[in-house]
Amino acid sequence: MDLLHTKYVHTIVQLIRPASIFYILFWYVIGCWFAQYALPVDYLWITTAISFGFVFSAGYVLNDYFDVQIDTFNKRGRPLEKNSISPQEVFSMYWIFTGAGLVTSVIAGGEVVLSSVLVILLGVLYSHPLFDMSKKGLWATLIMMIAYYFIPFLTGYFQYKNLVNIPLSTLLFFIGFLYIRGSRILMKDYEDNEGDMKYQRKTPLSIFGYKKLAYIVTSLCVFGLYFVVTSLFMIFSFSFVTFILVILAMLFSISTISKAFLIYKIDSKNILRKIWQYDHIYVLLIGVCLFMSST
C-alpha cells in the first residue's frame, strides 16, 4: 500500500486518532510551561512533540490491530473492521511509526528516548494478547494514565527543570488534573460495554457498576478541582488570570461529573450532554490562559 496515496489518508487518520494525539501533546507542552512559567522557544519541544506523535500513533495502530474482533461490537466502522486496510498493512504501519518515533527521540535527547521507549512498552503491554492488560480493569486504567498523562507532563517538565525540585504549586496542579484525568479514563469503557461483556473484559464499569462509578468519578473530580484551584492561587495569587483559570477548571470538572451521571442514565432532559460535549475546549482554554500569562 502506498501510504501517501490520497485514498488512504482518511484510513490513516482514523487509525492514528489525531485529536487524541493532540490532547496528549497538549499535556506535554503544559509540563514545559510549568518548568519555567513560559512557553519554550527552542527546537527541543518540537522534536519531542514529533517523537511523541509517532510513538503514540504506533500505540493506537497496535491497539486496532489486536482489537479487530472486539471492535465489531465496540467501534463499528474502524478501518480494520470494515476491511478498508489489511492487517499486514496496519502492522507495517506500526513498525514505521515506532521506528520514526525512536529516531526523532534520539535527536530530542536521552530523556525523550526513555519516555518514548516507555510509551512503546506500555502500548505492547496494553494491547498484545500475551499480556492483554486492556482486559485487566483498573490495571488498564493505570497504564493509560501513565502513558497519556504522567509521561508527557513529566517529560516536558524534566526537559527544562530538575524533577527533584518540583514546587508545591506544580505538584498540586499535576495531582489535581491526575484525579480529573483519571476519572475520565475510568469512564472510557462505558460506550464499549457491549463488546466488553461479550469478551468478558474487566472494566471499571463492570467492577463498580453505573451508580458507584458515577459517585467515584464525582469524588475524584472534587478532590482534583480542590488541588488545581489551590495551585492556581499559589502561582498567580488573587488576579483576573486566577479567576478565569478557576472558572475553566470548574467547567472541566463539572463536565466530567456530568458525563458520569449521563452514564448513570439520569439525564432525562439531555442537559448534561450539552455540558460535557465541550470538555476538550475547557481544558484547551486553560492552556491558552497559562500560555498568555507567561512571565
Can you tell me the mean pLDDT for 60-86?
71
Contact criterion met (CB below 8 Å) for 172 and 231: yes
Residue with more model confidence, 49 or 258: 49
Please calculate the CA angle 14-20-26 and round it to the nearest 5 degrees: 145
Q: What is the mean pLDDT of the chain?
A: 78
Contact criterion met (CB below 8 Å) for 146 and 218: no
Residue with more model confidence, 173 or 287: 173
Q: Do residue 151 and residue 78 come from a single domain?
A: yes
Q: How many percent of the chain have pLDDT more than 90?
A: 14
Domain that holds residue 86: 8-163
User: Which among 163, 184, 209 is the end of a domain?
Assistant: 163
Q: Do residue 84 and residue 105 come from a single domain?
A: yes
User: Which among 163, 192, 210 is the end of a domain?
Assistant: 163
Residue 239 lies in a domain: yes
Residue 114: predicted pLDDT: 94
Q: Do residue 105 and residue 141 come from a single domain?
A: yes
- Name the β-bridge partners of 136: 202
Residue 88: predicted pLDDT: 86
Can you tell me the mean pLDDT for 40-66?
88
Q: Do residue 12 and residue 146 come from a single domain?
A: yes
Residue 2 lies in a domain: no
Q: Do residue 185 and residue 253 come from a single domain?
A: yes
Residue 103 pLDDT class (50, 70, 90 cuts) = very high
Q: Do residue 119 and residue 193 come from a single domain?
A: no
Residue 221: predicted pLDDT: 86
Q: How many domains does the chain have?
A: 2
For the segment 178-193, what is each residue's pLDDT rounded down to a tens digit? 888 888 777 766 666 6
Residue 157 lies in a domain: yes
